[in-house]
């Protein structure tokens, strides 16, 4: 179960970012877009993750980052399974609140 949105670091003209967002929309995956051309700090974060480049889309979910250049649906699905592995639908801590 998705507990937070995927952060999609992108550029407005990036076709691979468009493909990722289209995939998320068609599969009901929650996401939030951040345009690295408008958000300088986000651009610096992408540079850190990508070794000094502005590669988009760069996705972050649950403190895990992955870069797609080009977008690859199969690779995303494999990462998405990994990113959600070991996280129960409900946190045990929430049961005690």
Structural domain includes residue 18: yes
Q: How many domains does the chain have?
A: 1
Structural domain includes residue 76: yes
Q: What residues contact residue 24 under an 8 Å CB cut-off, 6+ apart?
A: 6, 8, 30, 31
Summarize pLDDT for 54-66 with one digit per residue, the tens.
999 999 999 899 9
Higher pLDDT, 53 or 97: 53
User: Residue 16 and residue 6: Cα distance in Å, rounded?
Assistant: 16
Structural domain includes residue 27: yes
What is the token pair recorded at 85? Answer: 């592995």
Q: What confidence tier does 1 reach under pLDDT thresholds 50, 70, 90?
A: low
User: From start to end of the chain, where are the E strands?
Assistant: 6-10, 31-35, 58-61, 64-67
Predicted TM-score of the model (pTM): 0.84
Summarize pLDDT for 28-53 with one digit per residue, the tens.
999 999 999 999 999 999 999 999 99
Structural domain includes residue 1: no
Domain of residue 68, residue span: 6-95
**What CATH number is associated with residue 44?**
3.40.30.10
User: Residue 61 and residue 52: Cα distance in Å, rounded?
Assistant: 20
Higher pLDDT, 96 or 20: 20
What three-state secondary structure class fits 83? Answer: helix
């Amino acid at each position: 179960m998705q507990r937070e949105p995927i952060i999609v670091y992108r550029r407005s003209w990036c076709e691979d970012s468009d493909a990722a967002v289209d995939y998320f929309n068609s599969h009901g995956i929650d996401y939030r877009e951040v345009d690295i051309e408008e958000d300088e700090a986000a651009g610096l974060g992408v540079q850190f993750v990508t070794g000094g480049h502005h590669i988009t889309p760069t996705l972050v979910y649950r403190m895990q980052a992955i870069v797609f250049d080009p977008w690859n649906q199969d690779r995303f699905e494999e990462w998405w399974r990994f990113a959600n592995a070991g996280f129960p639908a409900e946190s045990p801590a929430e049961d005690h609140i």
